[in-house]
Chain A
């Protein structure tokens, strides 16, 4: 059993137990289970899946951050992370449209990142919608 904590600079977003945590680091996807060797990695913009023992799954949109795993504790540090259940789909859509528009005018990295964030948000929220 893993002890999982999702920590943002402003508060603890999620804290609980899980069987498996799947995240994507710069080197690719990685899954953590009990007994994993100590690990520190940099996360990319991608959903993180927290699967508990009874099979329920919590999906989190993580916009860059770190994951540390040591002694069956998984800590995800992220500047901006959102639980699927807290994402405002309307707002995310608007953000996506906005980002797309600004990317047309100027092709800069921040617009690109904004667009990716919006898409992740939507895909995370969408996944939840399907299951319900």
Chain B
């Protein structure tokens, strides 16, 4: 009967309500994490800028640019992809769009007859590529949320090793760039070999720098740090994007839950009203039927309480007439 439907709806509403509480909490947490991740990205910027500046000064100072990390290969045969995703889901399309971009790159490379190598960051990428039988060279978990420089260094070491030892000829970075709170975009960037910018013309070198031990020595020390700093910047960008994506996804989920609750409670109210109406109809109908069936007023128990029984001589005539 109708009461059953009402009960089912009530149960669904309370389940949606508790889901809403969870998504709401996740939204708020993500919001504070975005702010923190952004702050970390900002704090990391000076180092990256300085190190880039020093490399530029070195180039202007006339350092011979010859280092394994700069090795250019004419026709790269094997390309490594560093894919940065998150460990946890519930972040909307954040992971799937990075993974899709990476897979597209890998397929394009294979179509051209090249070979690939995958370095994955985050459980999501690992799960996806492992399930589809891709060969995975390295995977790192547990750092995407809040990357530290040590994490970046571990990954950078692995990647540099692959490149310097000649296993791969090129390294591409697939990650999500944080443009603003509302917009993050998947980017595929050349990571290695490092690109050396053409020396600016007319650069009489304001420098005249003095180096210790030597320009080449400093550069050899500096380039690995530069690689680490770039990877670190990418990780921080990805982390900020992850939290922003999660915040948006959870906001949508919360709004959805709210809408669903409104809809379901309307439905429930209607069901309850229906049930009440039906019940009244039944009672009225039943009473009518009883009245119709039993002609004698004495049959109704209630009638014994009425005045006519207390003062039968006065009211009898009046009451019995309609029957």
Contacts and interface: CB of A to CB of B under 8 A. Distances in A.
Partners in one complex: yes
Interface of A: 5, 7-12, 25-27, 30, 37-42, 66, 68, 70, 75, 77, 79
Nearest to A68: B54
Interface in B227-241: 228-229, 232
B211 A7 contact: no
Nearest to B58: A40
A37 B50 CA distance: 18
Main secondary structure of the interface of B (DSSP, over half): helix
B212 interface: yes
Contact of A11 (B44, B152, B218): B44
B218 A77 contact: no
Given A9-B47, A10-B40, A42 B221 contact: yes
Contacts of A40: 54, 57-58, 61, 209-212, 215, 218
B208 A37 contact: yes
**4 closest Cβ contacts across the A-B interface?**
A41-B212, A11-B43, A9-B149, A38-B209
Contacts, number: 90
Contacts of B40: 10
B148 interface: yes
Contacts of A39: 209-212
Nearest to A70: B57
B152 to A, nearest CB: 8
26 contacts: A5-B50, A7-B46, A7-B50, A9-B48, A9-B229, A12-B43, A25-B213, A27-B212, A27-B213, A37-B210, A38-B57, A38-B207, A38-B209, A40-B54, A40-B210, A40-B212, A41-B211, A41-B213, A42-B217, A66-B54, A66-B225, A68-B50, A70-B57, A75-B50, A77-B47, A79-B149
B51 interface: yes
B207 A10 contact: no
A38 B50 CA distance: 15
Contacts of B276: none
Contact of B149 (A10, A27, A30): A10
B57 A68 contact: yes
Nearest to B54: A68
A46 to B, nearest CB: 14
B65 interface: no
B291 to A, nearest CB: 87
Nearest to B149: A9
Nearest to A28: B212
A9 B42 CA distance: 11
B138 interface: no
Contact of A26 (B153, B213, B228): B213
B35 interface: no
B51 A25 contact: no
Nearest to B53: A68
B306 to A, nearest CB: 91
Contacts of B61: 38, 40
A19 B53 CA distance: 24
Contacts of B43: 10-12
Interface in B177-212: 207-212
B222 interface: yes
Contacts of B57: 38, 40, 68, 70
A9 B156 CA distance: 14
B232 A66 contact: no
A26 B221 CA distance: 12
Nearest to A11: B43
